[in-house]
Structure 1
Amino acid sequence: MDSLTQFVLGAAVSTALLGKKLGPRKAALVGGVLGTLPDLDVLIPYDDPVDSFVFHRGWTHSVFVHAFAAPLLGEGLVRLFKGLRDCRWLTWLTVFLCLATHAGIDAMTVYGTRLFWPFYPDPVGVGSVFIIDPLYTLPLLAVVIWALFKGTWTRRLQTFTVAVLAVSTGYLGLSVVLQRHVEQQAREIFRQEGIVPDEVFAIAAPFNILLWKVIGLQEGRYDNLYISLLDGVKAPEIYPHPRHPELVACVEETEAFRKLQWFSRGYYRAEQENDKIVISDLRMGMTPNYAFRFAIADVQDQGIRAMSPVRVTSEQRVNPEDWAWLTSRVMGELAIRRAEAAIAGVGEPIRGQSCALTDASSG
């Protein structure tokens, strides 16, 4: 999630548990700082942009690392604040929860986090909330602002803080229920159109849990479907796109591709852009301007040559028309996403190139 959400979530947790001991202002500030600590892994330098992509939200987001770090950080707080010296265990618990809730909310996004590293190294990414969701963040922000401006602890503040934490947690639970419902609905829509995907994955659209992007994945193609909970009887538009497995066959032995395949959980596509083979993560961003795209091989006359990965960025990440389309779809209007409809189609295999892969260091 975004940094503001992580700060106010940690601040609310700390206010609820330590507000009486520290005072609401200090408790909120301590929790806010703790709630942002796991994201300091962005300071870890990586030479390879693929590594930077797949290993972000790594060990710093593991609940096992948090369990180890909680007594260390907690003891520092006990020594720093006199009011905590008679509640060491509560302080340790608060530190753990501030760190672990950061990782937990990140795990609800599609990017995910390596929540159970090192025992389960794969990222956990539910995808039921977008990285910025005002309905989740604003109630937490309100209670934290109250705590920051409140000089003394009151039972009313504690009750309100706990209530907001309960409601925000319930919101996350509701998002998972809605995600499963949308996936079932999408399977039925695909079936009616004669499409039988191997996998179906619903991802919360930006800023809400009313509109969902659904990816129906097959070996050679994928279909995007946008479902609003306010849709009527008529089924929404399906947008088919090629995955170009003939290009995948040329790069599947490269380390960069294997990492991207693993991290994306198979939700990727290959495409040839000029003289490069580019792999895109289908889960993040809007087609065709995906948020994470990497050129991993050169297309040359003599064949395909592996290259040091380079992140490919689009000049226009968001089509201006998409904002109006997004609003319409959230409200259940069956608007066509023109930027995607213009390029939709299963497509033909890319031919005419040898698939003899050579290493980037050779020749």
Structure 2
Amino acid sequence: MDSLTQIVLGASVGEAVLGKKVGNKALLYGAIAGTIPDLDVLARNFTDTVTAIEWHRGFSHSIFFSLLFAPIFGWLISRIERKSDTTWQDWSKLMFWGLFTHPVLDAFTTWGTQLFWPFDVRLAFQNIFVIDPLYTLPFLVFLILVLFQKRTSPKRLKYNNLGLLVSSSYLVLTLVLKGIAYVKFNNSLQEQGIDYIAMDTRPTPFNSILWTANIETADTYLIGSYSFFDSRPIQFSSYPKNHQLLGSLATDKKIERLKHIVEGWYTITKKNDQLFFNDLRFGLISLDSEEERFAFSYQIIPKGDEIVIEETPKLRSDAKHLLAALWQRIWGN
């Protein structure tokens, strides 16, 4: 999830663990704990693109990381907060739950997380977009109410529990909505006589009303969208896999690693003799049925006996157009 959401979750968890003892300091250190796992993004400054992708939501988002570093961070905080009536065990407990709930929440997004690192298992339930105001904003309101209550006030506990309850309930609701959307896509494919190998569904940005699906067939991928306000049948756009365009590069180690990361959901495009590896998991850059650009695309650049993988930059204008199109599409086709 986005940084604000993880800060809010971490602060709320910190309050639940140690709020009665240290008041708003529990919110502060909980927010810090909720931020720490995402520092893995700094890897992009020190390594190549493929390695940075592999490291993101890897070690720092694992149970192992939480267990290993919670006592270390707990000890550091206990040295800073010597005057408070707390022990390093108290702070270690707060840090563990702040560090651990971060990847648990991330597991519900499209990117997922390697919660059981070093085992090669990525959890990605794909039922909530990385930024969802309906999850974050109510949670944030309750957290702000907590801030203005005295440490011993019963209202403080009440508001914090409500924030956790409302946000968690919404998360469960999105799982239900995902199930309904899956049935709608499946029924539509059957009605249109489309045989498919696999289907991957997820919410579109910033909402849980409009859903999209990637459908794998023998030689193409189909992409369709469904809003709970739709009144017309789902239409699917076709995108050829073009895996053969890789040629001898198909067995290159970096390409093999990219294939593993995207779990097989990719297409290859060729433009002006340049090859691009497109990650289908995050969809297209717009809702236009003629759109061919994907949100995450990587240029394959041969350099001698090796290749370099570079992520294609995104344009701000594309983001603005996508937001406008999403708002219109959410209300039905």
- Residue deviations 1:45-94 (CA, integer Å, cap 9, x gap): 44321221232111011012201222222233334335765565443332
Measure, in 1, the Cα distance between the counterparts of 2:63 and 2:262: 22
User: Corresponding residue for 2:17?
Assistant: 17
**Matched residue of 2:200: which SS?**
strand
Residue 168 of structure 1 corresponds to which residue in structure 2? 167
Q: For CA contacts below 8 A with separation 6 or more, give which structure has more relative contact order.
A: 1
Q: Distance in 2 between matches of 1:279 and 1:316?
A: 21
Alpha-carbon offset, residue 30 of structure 1: 1.0
Secondary structure of residue in 2 paired with 1:283: strand
Aligned to 2:288: none
TM-score by length of 1: 0.83
Matches within 5 A, 1:30-179: 30-44=29-43, 45-82=45-82, 85-86=85-86, 89-118=89-118, 120-150=119-149, 152-179=151-178
Kindly state the Cα deviation for residue 180 of structure 1 after the two structures are TM-superposed. Answer: 2.2
- Measured in 2, the distance between the counterparts of 1:315 and 1:273 equals 18
1 or 2, which has the higher helix percentage? 2
Measured in 1, the distance between the counterparts of 2:111 and 2:138 equals 24
Deviation digits for residues 260-315 of structure 1, max 9, x if unmatched?
1111111111111212221010111425332321122559xxxx985222222254
Q: Where does structure 2 lack aligned partners over 5 or more consecutive residues?
A: 286-291
Name the residue aligned to 1:28. 27
Q: What is the one-letter code of the residue matched to 2:173?
A: L
In 2: Cα distance, 1:85 partner to 1:286 partner: 53
Long gaps (5+) in structure 1: 335-363
Cα displacement string for residues 327-362 of structure 1 (whole angstroms, at most 9, x for unaligned residues) = 23222x21xxxxxxxxxxxxxxxxxxxxxxxxxxxx
Query: Quick check: which has more Rg, 1 or 2?
Result: 1
**Distance in 2 separating the partners of 1:61 and 1:315:** 29
* Runs (4+) off by over 4 Å: 82-90, 314-317
Equivalent residue, structure 1, for 2:263: 265
Contact preservation (8 Å) 1:289, 1:318: no
Tell me the secondary structure at the aligned position of residue 57 of structure 1.
coil
Where 2:230 maps in the other structure, the secondary structure is: coil
Distance in 2 between the 1:59 and 1:158 partners? 33
Pick closer, same or farther for the CA change 1:38–1:58 going to 2, 3 Å.
same
Preserved CA contact (<8 Å) 2:181 2:211: yes
Matched with 1:283 is 281
Aligned amino acid, residue 134 of structure 1: P
Kindly state the Cα deviation for residue 191 of structure 1 after the two structures are TM-superposed. 1.6
SS in 2 for 1:6: helix
Determine the C-alpha separation between the residues in 2 that align with 1:319 and 1:9. 27
How far the C-alpha of 1:135 sits from its partner, in A, is: 0.8
Number of the residue aligned with 1:218 = 217
Q: Give 3-state SS (helix, strand or coil) of 1:256's partner.
A: helix
Structure 2 counterpart of 1:358: none
Query: Aligned equivalents of 2:58 and 2:239: distance in 1?
Result: 31
Whether the 8 Å contact between 1:12 and 1:143 is mirrored in structure 2 is: no
* Equivalent-residue separation in structure 2 for 1:105 and 1:309 (angstroms): 29
After TM superposition, the score normalised by the length of structure 2 is: 0.90
Q: Distance in 2 between matches of 1:75 and 1:272?
A: 54
- Name the CA shift for 1:184/1:78 in 2 (closer, same or farther; >3 Å): same
